[in-house]
Structure formats: C-alpha cells, structure tokens
Structure 1
Amino acid sequence: MTRLHKRRALLIGNEYYDDGRFSPLASVRADVWGLAQVLRHHKIGNFVSVQTESDLTADDIRAVIGEFLQEREEDELALVYVSGHGVRTVRDGGEFHFVAKDTDYDRVSATGVSAGFLNDALEECVAPQKIVMIDCCRSGGFAVGLRTSDPQPGSSVAKSGERPPLTSRGVYVLSSSRAGEDSYADAGGGDDVKPSAFTGEVIEALRTGKVSKDGGSAVAVSDLFHHVNQRMRAQSGGRQVPVQSALGVDDRIVIADSPFGRAPVLESLRPGPGPPPAKRPRRTPRNPRMGSPPGPAC
C-alpha cells in the first residue's frame, strides 16, 4: 500500500445559480464545510492544504481546477471534489457537465464545465495519485468507463467498437449516483443545513474510521466507496447508487487515517457570523440536485 503524506484537496461547491431554473442547493455549504473538516483534521485526513471555493462561474471553475492540478508535485495526492448541479447533455453524446453559477439552462454544453475539461487537466497533472469526488445528479456519467462522453455515430471510436479511456494514471473517481440517477440533498433552509446523502455518508465514514479495512489505521478510497455504497443502497432502496471507476490504480490509495479511540466531533455549520444555532428546525424532505421546484426527479 502506498501512503502519500502530502495530500492536497480542492473542494468546489455551487449553491446559487444565476439561471433560476437551477434550484439553490443549501446542502452544498454543509458538504464543503464537513468534508473540509475531516480532510484537515490531524487525526483523519491530515491534508497539507484544503482549498475551498463557492459559487464559481464556468471560467472560474476551469481556472481554479487547472491551477490546482498544475501546481501538484510528483510526491503528492490530489483530490478534487465538486458539489452542485450536474447534467448529461444527450444531444452532445451524453457528456457530463458541471453546472456553474452562470450556466444557461438551455445551453449547458456551451456554458457549463465539461467532464472532458477535468479529464484533460487530470491527464496533465503529475501527481501519482488523484481522486475525483462528484456529488451531482447524473455524476455517474463522468465515471462510466472513465470516458467523458458516449461514442458518436460515425466516429472512428464507434466504428472500432472501442471506448475512449481517460488516459490519466492512478485516477480514482467516486460519483454520487449512476449516470441516469438523481443525487439527493437536504432541502431544509435556515440555519439547520445538513450535507447531501452521498457526501454526508463520506464525512461520517471518515470521521468514525469504521470504513478502515480489518480495523487498520489506513482508510483506502476503495474501502470508503464500498462502505458508502452499502449504506446508501440500504437507505435509499436503490434510488441513488454511487459509482466508482479507476484507471491505472495498481495499489490501494489512502485518503485518510482511521482515528483511534473516540471519533472526533466536527463543528456545526455556521452559515453566517455568530454562534451555531441552538434550536434545530424540522428536517424537510430530500430534494433532487437537479430540477426546478423541489419534488420531481431531475
């Protein structure tokens, strides 16, 4: 098992959108807040740096991701996490796109951030171990076969029957749902904001360390996925099933350490200045991460 001690993360959360047809996602705040805590914690992730960004335009997302991956070194682990809306544009071959703050609902492929962009940035990154974690609707569309889109009719790829792989080495992708599924988030507003279903399970698994194999001190990405996958299958009845994909991974990649003794208590999310709220309002029904008003699937 290869354990890189220089771990660095970039966490991107898009809660608000200029186009009102993309509903706000309050859980994004809790996703980034909670994940950043476990990654920074000296007894858990012990990451050297955790960079958090929120409500970015498409150009800013590309700039931030590009800069982060270009700056990585050959002895580092790089983790890129994105929480927000996601769309697979069927007209463009089913390519997955991240929805940015300024994405136009009617022109997602032109105004969003494509999986192809992130794949290219991963390819150029020299870090030997790379993890991508996506909490968006349809996010399995990014990870299916580690390809960015479906083969186009008439292309050389389609004629040969081969699927274009993501050529990055040592890349592990965890997606919150299958290519055709919603990813669910807490629809509660006010001060009581909870993480989404997928990220919430990831945070809790890392915080408690129960995911570590054979009770060991290291938490591998593969073990983390299997634990979260089983939990979500049981709780959602198969409505939201996480997806994993890996390429060039020839050993277990360690994302965190398993805390000994009592699991650390994380700080409550503070949406604004002042102490955390004393009273917790009632939790509202879960809300899909894509689609306008709460309720219908995206």
Structure 2
Amino acid sequence: MAKVALLIGVSEYQELNPLPSAVRDVAALKVVLAQEAIGGFDHVKTLENPELTQLQDAVYELFEQCSKEDLVLLYFSGHGVKDQSLELFLTTPQTRKNDRGLIVPHTAVSARYLQNRITTSRCQRTVVILDCCYSGAFAKGMTAKDEGKVNVLEQLGGKGRAILTSSTAVQSSFQQDERSLSLYTHYLVEGIKTGAADLDGDGQISADELHQYTHQKVTEESPAMTPEFYPVKEGHRIFVAKAPQDEPLLLYRKEVQRLVAEQDDAIAFLTGEFDPWDRALLDDCMQKWQIPAEAAQQIEQEITEPLRQRYQKLKEYETLYQKAVQHCWPISERIARRLQELQRAWGLRDEDIAPIEARLCPASVAEVPTPAPELSPATSETPDAPVVHSSVKTVDYQTLKALLEQQQWKAANQETFRLMLAATERQAQGWLDFDAIKRLPKAVLRTIDELWTVASQGRFGFSAQKKIWQRLDRGDQRETEKMLGVEVGWRKGGRWTFEIIDDLNAPEGHLPFWGDWGKSPAMPWLGKGISAVLFSQIEICSVPSNSLSSVSSTSQTLADKLAQVELNSAKGADYSKLRDLLKEQAWEDADQETLRLMVEVGALDYKNYLNVEDIKNFPCEDLRSIRAIQRKKKPKLKEEKGEFQQTTFRDPANGGYLVLKGS
C-alpha cells in the first residue's frame, strides 16, 4: 500500500486575478504530508502554475499508476470557475472567459475529466481537497476565487471518496494580505502539523476530522465562509495523517482549545490574555507537562488568532457604524450599502452585527442631526383612545384600532405586519429585514405599541415583550431570544413554533408575533438576534390613564350588562346563581358554579368531571349561555401552585372560550 499526493497551485493568470498564496499553499501542505511521522506519504508531487496539458497529464498519471490499496490525495488551490451548465473547472494560467463571463472550456480542466480519471482508477481510497470557490466577492486586501455554484458531490462523488472544499458559495475563499497562506489551507495545514485535527485522540487524522477542525477554525475567524465535506461510501474514515498521542505540546493545545470553546468571552482577544482562573489552570498544565513558556505562548496565539481576527473586524465595523450614525440618521442608502459590502467582505453575518447596531441606534431621532420631516398627523376618533403619534409616513391606524377593540387578535397581528410594510415601503417585497426594522419610524412603532398595550390592558404589545426581554437578558442576544420565545409561547420543545393563540389568555407578550415577518430565505429571524434590533427602537409605554378610566367605567356597568344576557338551556339548567356570582366578581365561586352546571347539564353527577367526549356532546345552547355571561367580565385567573387552576374549552358554535376548573 502506498500513499501518493498531487498538489497543484495556480497563482499566476494571464486574464484572471492573481492568487499569490496558491503556490505557498502547495509548499506548506507538501511539508506536512511528506514528513514520515505526520503525513507519511511515500510520494508528494507538486505543480506550480502548470500549463493545461501538464496538469491533465499529471492527473492522468496519478490515478493510472495507483493500485487498489493505495491512498491518493489530489489538492488544488486556485480559481474555480464554471460554465453555463454549472460544471466546475480547475483553472490554469491560460484560462480565460468569454464576453459573457463564462469559461472557455478548452482552457481549463473540467470536473468531468477528474471524474473519469478517478472512476476508472483501481484506487478505492481517494481524497480530493479543493481550495477554490464558486462565487466571487472582491474587496481591498482580499481576492476571491470566482463565482457561481456547482454540485461538487454530483461531479466528483464516487466509491471510497472524501471531498473537502473551502466553500460552496463563496462568501469567500479569500486570501488576506497579512497571511501567507489562504485562510482554508492555513488551518488545514495547522490541523495536520500540530495533530490538533485528531479529535478523537486515536492517533489518526481521518478525512472527516480534518474537515471538522478546519471548518471550526475558519468559521471562528470568518463566520460567513462555509467549508463543506462530501464523504462517499467510507470516505469519511480515510486516514490522511498521523498524530502523536500523549505528546505534551498536543495535550497543551487541546487543553487551550477546550478552555476557549467553553468560554471564549473569558479571553481579551486583542491581547490574547486569558482570565485569572483559566490562566492559573494553563500555568499548572505548563508545569506538569514541562511546556516552555515560548511554546505555550505560540500555541495560545494560534488558537485564539481566528477569534481575535473576528473581534477586530467587529470592532472596526462598530467604529464605522458609529461614524455613520453620527453623520446622519437614518443612515443614507449609500452608506448603508457600503456597510453591507464591508459586512460581506469581512465574512460577518447579520446576527454578528445586530447587537452592535442595536446598541448604537439612537434612543430617539432627536439625538442625532437629521432634517425635520413633514409630519402627517392622524388622530383617533374617541378621547379615550391612545394618542396616535405623528409619523414620517402617512399611516392609517383605524383598521388596527377597530380590530383590537373587537379583540380580534390574530387579524390585528396581520394588520400590524401590513402597517410595518407600509411604513418601510416594503409592500412589494412582502417581508422585513434587519435594515427595515432599523428604518421604522419611532412614531409608527410607538403608536402601534400603545394601541396593543391599551387594548390588552398591558398584556400584549412591544412594550410587554421588551420588559420580558430585559428581565431575561444576560448578554447573549440569541440565548435571550430563545428564552423570550419560551416565555411568550413562541418556542416549544426546543423548536420555534408559528402558531398564534387568538385569545387574551395567551402568554403575556405573545402578540404581536413578529417571528414570521422576515420571509427572505437568507433571513431567519427567530434565534438570530432580531429582538435586539427591534427592542432598541421601542420606548416602553404604560397603559394611558384615560384608557384605564374607560376600563373602570366598563366595570361599573357590569351588572347592567349581565342583566341583559338571555339565558337558555336545553336541559332546563338555572344560570341565575352564576350570573349573581359574576356580578359580585366572586371569581373562584363562579368557577366552581360553572363546573357544577356543566356536570348537571351533562348528567355527569356520578363522576363530577368532564372529559373530551363529554365536551363534544355538551349542548351548544348551554355553552352559549355560559359564554355570554363570562365574556362580560373575564377574570385574570391565577395559576400559581395552591390556587385554582383553569382549563380552556372552545365553544364550537361561536368560537369563544370557556374557562373551567377541575376538568
């Protein structure tokens, strides 16, 4: 059995952008593969900037001369391009594109050629590593490795094969000026050279372990870059290299990795310093394993480097965003576009920058210089309604107000979404993104929030949600959002749910539900930190006093309203006692009387409780009578242990709700 490798690097191009690191990638990988104690490869051939026929001949010989038991590794660093049918091509210095930007096929090596050579080979253990991309993003200090998207597994898959790629859709397999190797190959080599990619500690680095290690390190530094792994048959268990076991430097490296993974906020990434507790533990390990201070420092720096790089990008983005806010608010479209371009170039996701933007958004428009808008005031029809604030946008709140007064919560939720789209002029798109939330006029948010707050007596609305969010917040935006989801009924069994409870007895803060307002496939809202952006725009409001007086006057006429209720029973039940108890607001006794009536009407005295079948067979006429009485004044029932519990049944005739005890 032999281990052979062909490493190809193309840095120089006649028409495409140069990639200086590609030939250095090849040289660095050759060093670790050729070392007997690490890679143990019997033969490693390298090609730097090869001609087309030279590259094809080398690939042909690689697979033609191998035997069944050999391990063959093919590595390519350079531009990856595609043709009109999305077939992948590996480029050479002479590769060029036509006027439409598509590859001229005879100037590059197609994936089909590689597939044929691999398939006809006798070798049953093949590893293909492609450090090239299929979509392009060009920015200062970075050069991407092309554009498009290809199905790598379909084009290169086969028996006993492992395919590792630096990225599938290029947010970027790019080089940075300060690093000599490409980002992907840098961590590929590091994982093999140090043995850190031996994740299970068995002394062997398999293809899947190498991918897992490289993927983790790359995404720590550049989260938007997504290395991929395509194992075929037993390809994931092909052993690429060896790793020392119980070697002090490797043990120390794994201990540092463990501490960083457990609590990366314990490290000041700009300096690479650990907190006192981790530092004490690492010092003890240095002494126990006799690790020189210089070697320990190098290991710590290597492990924290990707996190430090990401931290520096975030700090730079924060500085630029703060300057943008100070320049003008709302941020102009031109500056917002530049910030988005920088975000993509630096590999930062929306959820990475959301907390920064939420923190730096002005608490009110008056805090930053901005031209005075022309206001389009809208007024409410009754003096008891909440104030409808002036808005930069002309927004008609009357439909929302009417729906909330009628307690049509689900319909009001949809109307709220429609108003948000109108206020941000995104009716055509039909969904909101992070930028749209940041552009929402505060007057619009404040009016919508007050309408919900008043209608629900403080139970629903953005203010109710923000209070819960502030109580739960421990600094991790995404975790806080998950806890918020559990508390308001949006998250069950560890998953987000899009079911809306159309009732005032829904959990506090349940509405308005904004989890499905981001309809873009690239914008998963819940669990991604959108709450930090939304709540930064919200000023908590309380139920206005004029609306409370309206509620008070309603309770004063409760007896009159109850007296007007027409009571009917299919079984001759007497509901007068229940009505009297509700007049007196004796809620617990009324709850007991309701259960007694249900048992009586259902002829269930022998068991004194109701099951689902009993409810199904219950006379609708009696349900309507009970519902009519209780809807005149519905109590907020306590649910603490030791106090009476509640069970809610839906009235099949009218769609209302009936609160019962003891079912």
- Which interval holds the TM-score relative to the shorter structure? 0.7 to 0.9
- The aligned residue for residue 286 of structure 1 is none
Number of residues of Structure 1 aligned to a counterpart in Structure 2: 238
- The aligned residue for residue 130 of structure 1 is 126
Indicate the structure whose relative CO is greater, using CA pairs within 8 Å and at least 6 residues apart.
Answer: 1
Answering whether residue 86 of structure 2 is matched by residue 79 of structure 1, we say: no
- The aligned residue for residue 102 of structure 1 is 94
Answering whether residue 232 of structure 2 is matched by residue 247 of structure 1, we say: yes
- The aligned residue for residue 51 of structure 1 is 45
- The aligned residue for residue 116 of structure 1 is 112
Secondary structure of the 1:219 match is strand
Secondary structure of the 1:130 match is strand
**Bigger proportion of residues as helix:** 2
Write out per-residue CA displacement over residues 181-224 of structure 1, whole angstroms, 9 at most, x where no aligned residue. 42111336xxxx61100010000000111111322211101011
Inter-partner Cα distance in structure 1 for 2:23 and 2:68 = 31
Secondary structure of the 1:172 match is strand
- The aligned residue for residue 206 of structure 1 is 192
Shift of 1:75: 1.7
- The aligned residue for residue 175 of structure 2 is 185
Contact 2:206 2:236 in 1 (8 A): no
Contact 1:207 1:259 in 2 (8 A): no
Answering whether residue 221 of structure 2 is matched by residue 221 of structure 1, we say: no
Secondary structure of the 1:222 match is helix
Shift of 1:250: 6.3
Contact 2:6 2:45 in 1 (8 A): yes
- The aligned residue for residue 163 of structure 1 is none
Shift of 1:167: 6.0
Write out per-residue CA displacement over residues 247-283 of structure 1, whole angstroms, 9 at most, x where no aligned residue. 22266110000035247xxxxxxxxxxxxxxxxxxxx
Shift of 1:58: 2.1
Inter-partner Cα distance in structure 1 for 2:219 and 2:75 = 22
Q: Please list, as runs of the form range in 1=range in 2, the aligned pairs for 1:1-298 lying within 5 A after superposition.
A: 6-19=2-15, 22-89=16-83, 91=84, 93-106=85-98, 108-110=103-105, 111-138=107-134, 141=149, 144=152, 146-148=153-155, 166=156, 168-187=158-177, 194-237=180-223, 239-249=224-234, 252-260=237-245, 261=247, 262=249
- Please tell me the residue identity of whatever aligns with 2:189: I
Inter-partner Cα distance in structure 1 for 2:108 and 2:177 = 24
- Please tell me the residue identity of whatever aligns with 2:103: V
Inter-partner Cα distance in structure 2 for 1:244 and 1:251 = 9
Inter-partner Cα distance in structure 1 for 2:55 and 2:150 = 16
**Bigger proportion of residues as strand:** 1
Inter-partner Cα distance in structure 1 for 2:6 and 2:150 = 18
CA 1:42–1:182 in 2, change beyond 3 Å: closer, same or farther?
same
Inter-partner Cα distance in structure 1 for 2:88 and 2:169 = 9
Inter-partner Cα distance in structure 2 for 1:104 and 1:251 = 35
Write out per-residue CA displacement over residues 1-35 of structure 1, whole angstroms, 9 at most, x where no aligned residue. xxxx621100000111122xx12211112201110
- The aligned residue for residue 501 of structure 2 is none
Inter-partner Cα distance in structure 2 for 1:208 and 1:247 = 27
Inter-partner Cα distance in structure 2 for 1:143 and 1:216 = 33
Secondary structure of the 2:40 match is coil
Contact 2:207 2:235 in 1 (8 A): no
Secondary structure of the 2:237 match is coil
- Of 120-129 and 254-263, the range deviating more from structure 2: 254-263
Contact 1:143 1:173 in 2 (8 A): no
Inter-partner Cα distance in structure 2 for 1:131 and 1:250 = 8
Give TM-score scaled by structure 2 length: 0.34
**Which protein shows a greater Rg?**
2
Contact 1:233 1:241 in 2 (8 A): yes
Contact 1:26 1:186 in 2 (8 A): no
Write out per-residue CA displacement over residues 222-257 of structure 1, whole angstroms, 9 at most, x where no aligned residue. 0110111111111102x2110111222266110000
CA 1:251–1:100 in 2, change beyond 3 Å: closer, same or farther?
closer
Inter-partner Cα distance in structure 2 for 1:80 and 1:250 = 14
Shift of 1:114: 1.1
Secondary structure of the 1:147 match is helix
Inter-partner Cα distance in structure 1 for 2:214 and 2:131 = 13
CA 1:218–1:142 in 2, change beyond 3 Å: closer, same or farther?
farther
CA 1:246–1:109 in 2, change beyond 3 Å: closer, same or farther?
farther
CA 1:127–1:29 in 2, change beyond 3 Å: closer, same or farther?
same
Contact 1:39 1:256 in 2 (8 A): yes
Unaligned runs of 5+ in 2: 135-144, 251-341, 346-663
- The aligned residue for residue 548 of structure 2 is none
Write out per-residue CA displacement over residues 138-197 of structure 1, whole angstroms, 9 at most, x where no aligned residue. 2895654x112xxxxxxxxxxxxxxxxx56311110001013442111336xxxx61100
CA 1:84–1:27 in 2, change beyond 3 Å: closer, same or farther?
same
Unaligned runs of 5+ in 1: 149-165, 264-294
Secondary structure of the 2:128 match is strand
Contact 1:11 1:82 in 2 (8 A): yes
Contact 2:167 2:226 in 1 (8 A): yes
CA 1:16–1:220 in 2, change beyond 3 Å: closer, same or farther?
same
- Please tell me the residue identity of whatever aligns with 1:147: E
Inter-partner Cα distance in structure 2 for 1:8 and 1:141 = 30
Secondary structure of the 1:131 match is strand
Inter-partner Cα distance in structure 2 for 1:109 and 1:216 = 47
| Dislocated runs of 4+, deviation >3 Å | 139-144
Q: CA RMSD in A?
A: 2.6
Inter-partner Cα distance in structure 1 for 2:150 and 2:36 = 31
CA 1:142–1:174 in 2, change beyond 3 Å: closer, same or farther?
farther
